[in-house]
Structure 1
């Protein structure tokens, strides 16, 4: 009965600190469990509530909002029995010494709430040893979500293992670490086993550009999780061979949740009509956003193909691989027929598209021809061959007498037939 009363008293006090009753009970239960396990400092139990207040005030002074503090304390209640100025402040100073801004510190702690409970000095030393600069260390600390305790012991041996196993430079490894640090902050034996599995089980050779993505895939997804995702693909008629082909081309396709994979397969196969053997060769269709890229670009291609403005067999996978600026330049801005539709689908406006057209026009390169008949020197062949024959003639051949004879010879036609085409296009 006494312990229940104590827990109730704690919960009431936590409620006064801004926590809900349910949150207060959860924090109280976690602290009771750690006390029984002897994980908290007995000295900190003296005037516990005053100490808890000082910790919360400390976080507020760092710039954390009340909702941030609640998230941190719920995840790691033992902060409430830490000495703010003796334990927490020196670790914040380590962050400041690296050049972290206030927003950097907040982002780092919110992403990894237990980070201030760990020995940061040896961790930062190991990171700096490999990454070289304080700026790179800050990048890692802002991204990492794993327990950093093992970093000091395993990080450098892991890098040495990767250099020996993959035969790649430290600069290349550094780039991968900065991109996905969690995959490299693991026990060295686990990393070694994973490297072998990427080659033997996934079939991705160590010299492949996808090798490190395979490492990240296996370390971030457990065996059961991978098996469950395979079953989702198989429920849509995929074979194991199809699945492995997709993984080899880009393992990151499998890092999405089962629900997202199922939704994407439903769209690509049931609505778009794609078959497994084709989709297995097009990882880009699984990597990009459906709402922001797949749907809008598919609709644009549909309209342009229906109007005969681009080839009927132009592939969606090619279109979605372009950056937004390149797609606008090639498939949207030149065709008023799709301006309004595309603007609506991406949540933009016609004015913004026209503004983009003005910017592109002003920044175009010098031209091959003088005067109003000019085309850009950097106009890409891939853009030209995507156009239908009639559109290509209208844009790039008929207006320029300088190319009539050459084009006629190369296409097995005659200059007269081109002139006939010109008359038709003008009529």
Structure 2
């Protein structure tokens, strides 16, 4: 095998590295590889659209004669399953003719939407099939084009967030885009924000957006941080009632986080994503796991941990303490470990760490935090490939551990 790789111009180490990274991202492929029976099947869609149409039509023909027209239409025209079509037909039972939905589908296709795009839109917002193309859909697309959005960007927005179509009127969107442009100077970033949250075009500017921006200004947040909040948190921040944001600011102050510090911003951002009751419950849970008040304060340096589920928190703390042998004080000093994946990072790397330490491959003891926090590339280089000559089975050990299978 090694000679073959050299002959075709591959370095063995680079080949194995790419293979490991690829396989770790697909555990089902991993099991097949370890068993020596892996097969990759590539299923190509029919290249001829007439073939697809015949396929969809045959599906519709298989339905019961009593099946409502719109269900048959969705199965036959879009290739939805009967259960998907039945769910989508909830608000479409009045449609008895294909003329209007046909015109909507044709409009999307003419505007560059793929069949996969259209199916996604209909699954999320089937009512769009009731829209009038000339008086409803065309003006909404024209508004976005007038504001500088390309056809590709419009396709991405509508596909990612079909409900945005309900709010894309000239008088509703234009002032919001102009308002966002004071913080976000890229249409791609505005697109990202709108794609994630309809609140950015549905919430009241005067009652919510402007007061909430003013609140963030009072917290001394820079334009760059306000921009990040709009893009990544959207309605969870700007779409809230202003009194909610003020209660968040009060809670962050009560936690003793220094105003105007980076931690104030990160804690504020985290709390905007959870209710105050949930936040208090997570703090109480961490306390019940044995963390002292000072250790809890250290953990809050990584406030995203509060967003983890109670089950997730308990499992990770239990693993770190009971399996990995970490002291609670060590975990509190390195709280980012709690945010790492159990199956992809904590368990396989801890397993490898134990093995190479037992084999005496390390000259000095290294803490778990170092093992689990370094990048995948550096981990493979420092602890897999560098020890492979003395422990040839190490790559397989790491791969199998990543799939939940332990060789020793």
Q: Is the CA contact (8 Å cut-off) linking 2:352 and 2:398 kept in structure 1? A: no
2:340 to 263, 284, 288: 288
Q: Is the CA contact (8 Å cut-off) linking 2:248 and 2:271 kept in structure 1? A: yes
Counterpart of 1:359 in structure 2 is none
Distance 1:56 1:254 in 2: 43
Distance 2:175 2:312 in 1: 39
Question: Is structure 2 residue 128 aligned with structure 1 residue 79?
Answer: yes
Distance 1:169 1:28 in 2: 47
Question: Is structure 2 residue 102 aligned with structure 1 residue 53?
Answer: yes
Distance 2:72 2:96 in 1: 16
Q: Is the CA contact (8 Å cut-off) linking 2:70 and 2:95 kept in structure 1? A: no
Q: Secondary structure at the match of 1:114?
A: helix
Question: Is structure 2 residue 238 aligned with structure 1 residue 185?
Answer: yes
Structure 1: unaligned runs, 5 residues or longer: 1-5, 33-44, 349-427
Question: Is structure 2 residue 256 aligned with structure 1 residue 207?
Answer: no
Distance 1:256 1:62 in 2: 40
Superposition pairs of residues 65-144 of structure 1, within 5 angstroms: 65-66=114-115, 68-96=117-145, 98-100=148-150, 102=152, 104-119=153-168, 120-144=173-197
- Give the direction of change, closer, same or farther, for the CA distance of 1:16–1:325 in structure 2 (3 Å limit): closer
Counterpart of 1:36 in structure 2 is none
Counterpart of 2:31 in structure 1 is none
- Give the direction of change, closer, same or farther, for the CA distance of 1:309–1:345 in structure 2 (3 Å limit): closer
Structure 2: unaligned runs, 5 residues or longer: 1-65, 402-408
2:373 to 313, 316, 321: 321
Q: Secondary structure at the match of 2:267?
A: helix
Question: Is structure 2 residue 349 aligned with structure 1 residue 268?
Answer: no
Distance 2:363 2:155 in 1: 50
Q: Is the CA contact (8 Å cut-off) linking 1:7 and 1:29 kept in structure 2? A: no
Shift in Å, 1:83: 1.8
Shift in Å, 1:317: 1.1
Shift in Å, 1:13: 4.0
Bigger shift: 325-334 or 289-298?
325-334
- Give the direction of change, closer, same or farther, for the CA distance of 1:320–1:175 in structure 2 (3 Å limit): same
Shift in Å, 1:326: 4.1
Distance 1:322 1:207 in 2: 30
Shift in Å, 1:332: 4.6
Post-superposition CA distance 1:263-282 (Å, at most 9, x none): 42343233223344432332
- Give the direction of change, closer, same or farther, for the CA distance of 1:181–1:245 in structure 2 (3 Å limit): same
Q: Is the CA contact (8 Å cut-off) linking 1:127 and 1:137 kept in structure 2? A: yes
- Give the direction of change, closer, same or farther, for the CA distance of 1:309–1:9 in structure 2 (3 Å limit): closer
Q: TM-score scaled to structure 1, two decimals?
A: 0.63
Superposition pairs of residues 247-266 of structure 1, within 5 angstroms: 247-266=299-318
- Give the direction of change, closer, same or farther, for the CA distance of 1:11–1:330 in structure 2 (3 Å limit): closer
Post-superposition CA distance 1:314-345 (Å, at most 9, x none): 21113333333444555455444467524652
Q: Secondary structure at the match of 1:310?
A: coil
Distance 1:101 1:247 in 2: 45
Counterpart of 1:173 in structure 2 is 226
Asked which structure has the greater RCO (Cα within 8 Å, sep 6+), the reply is 2
Q: Is the CA contact (8 Å cut-off) linking 2:163 and 2:198 kept in structure 1? A: no
Bigger Cα Rg: 1
Superposition pairs of residues 359-378 of structure 1, within 5 angstroms: none
Shift in Å, 1:284: 1.5
The aligned length equals 326
Counterpart of 2:217 in structure 1 is 163
Shift in Å, 1:17: 3.8
Q: Is the CA contact (8 Å cut-off) linking 1:73 and 1:79 kept in structure 2? A: yes
Q: Is the CA contact (8 Å cut-off) linking 2:70 and 2:96 kept in structure 1? A: no
Distance 1:85 1:92 in 2: 11
Question: Is structure 2 residue 359 aligned with structure 1 residue 310?
Answer: no
- Give the direction of change, closer, same or farther, for the CA distance of 1:22–1:276 in structure 2 (3 Å limit): same
Q: Is the CA contact (8 Å cut-off) linking 2:349 and 2:398 kept in structure 1? A: no
CA RMSD of aligned residues (A): 3.7
